[in-house]
Amino acid sequence: MDWMKILAAVAGVMMLFYLWPAYKHWSQNSPEAKPGDWQAVIFALGAVILLILLLISVVQS
Amino acid sequence: MNQTNVSIARSPEQILSANKVLKNTYLLLSATLGFSALTAMISMGMNMPPMTYMIALIASMVLGIFVLPKTANSGTGIGVIFLITGLMGFGLGSVLSMYLALPKGPEIIATAFGGTGIIFLGLSGYALTSKRDFSFMGGFLFAGMMVLVIAMLANIFFEMPALSLAISAGVILVMSGFILFDTSRIARGEETNYIMATYGLYLSIFNIFISLLNLLTAFSGDD
């Protein structure tokens, strides 16, 4: 349905307007990462990726 | 190299206050998730059409952007957050009905539900026990979110299955980052409003669940 696509697009644009001030604030005011901070994030997100791969193999079996 | 190390000590009152916000956030989060499950079941029982999802999502987005920030410091905020999460649950119910009709639908829903729970509890626990300040991720997370929204906008019209899967994978990673970011901000006393904190965590959980459903369905060969 075309009007559903238009509605979804309107919602997406609205979301962008909502996100823009938050993006500006955090890109200017985010504190610097300390040594080891990015490794901690990569470790956590790596675990999430492994879990998703495991879940995919569960539904495929 | 000139480097200034600033250490900010927190008073016992600040720590107590942060713990209170954390406790209230988890209590409200449990209640809103339970309420969403209830409205999702009502929606499934009523056999709502799939477009209900989009309408409920837009209505909850309008409430979340324009009403919730203005009411979050009063008792009305509790009613508004239940209205938002109830609406999102109601919309989700219509999507779940579609997934249930698939041969592996119930298994996919159960797996996505369990996976979302593990991701949330694991990341929240990690943010709390590691005691790291994950607020350095703020700029990256909001930039990532904007890129994903632009990709979603493009995919509304292009309808590319591969892009849809890439978006789902991206949403799961960005929302996982938001769980770390939000939890560390609450634990460090940087987020003092438990209603807004609940809203942030609820959105992350909701988006992870929906994206996981999409990914699991695609890879199970059921779509």
Examine the domain organization and report whether A15 and A26 are in the same domain.
yes
| Residue B33, in any domain of the structure | yes
The burial of B97, by beta-carbon neighbours within 10 Å (0-12 exposed, 13-18 middle, 19 or more buried), is given as buried
- Which ipTM did the prediction report? 0.91
Looking at the complex, report in whole angstroms how far the Cα of residue B124 sits from the nearest Cα belonging to chain A: 10
pLDDT of B6 higher than 60? no
Angle of helix B105-130 versus helix B76-100 axis, rounded to 10: 140
Domain of B213 in residue numbering reads as 13-220
Conformational region of residue B159, where left means phi above 0, alpha means psi within -120 to 50, and beta covers everything else? left
| Same domain, residue pair A39 and A26 | no
For residue B23, the model assigns a pLDDT of 95
Query: In terms of domains, do A22 and A42 share one?
Result: no
**What is the tens place of the pLDDT at every residue in A19-59?**
899 899 998 988 888 889 999 999 999 999 999 999 999 99
Percent of chain B with pLDDT strictly greater than 70 = 95
Q: Are B85 and B32 in contact (CB under 8 A)?
A: yes
The mean predicted confidence, pLDDT, of chain B is 91
Residue B182 lies in a domain: yes
Q: Looking at the complex, does the CB of residue A55 fall below 8 Å from at least one CB of chain B?
A: yes
- Nearest one of A58, A14, A13, A31 to B154, comparing CA atoms: A13
Domain that holds residue A18: 1-30
Per the structure, the count of domains in chain B is 1
Residue B132, chain A, CB below 8 Å: the answer is yes
Residue B38, in any domain of the structure: yes
Residue B123 has its nearest CB partner, among A1, A13, A44, at A44
State whether A26 and A39 are in the same domain: no
Number of domains forming the structure of chain A? 2
pLDDT of B117 above 90: yes
Q: Suggest the residue from A2, A15, A34 to mutate for an interface test with chain B (most B CBs closer than 10 A).
A: A15
Question: What are the φ/ψ torsions at residue B72 (nearest 5 degrees)?
Answer: -65, -20
B28 in a domain, yes or no? yes
Restricting to B residues 6-45, those with a Cβ less than 8 Å away from any Cβ of A are none
Confidence (pTM):
0.92
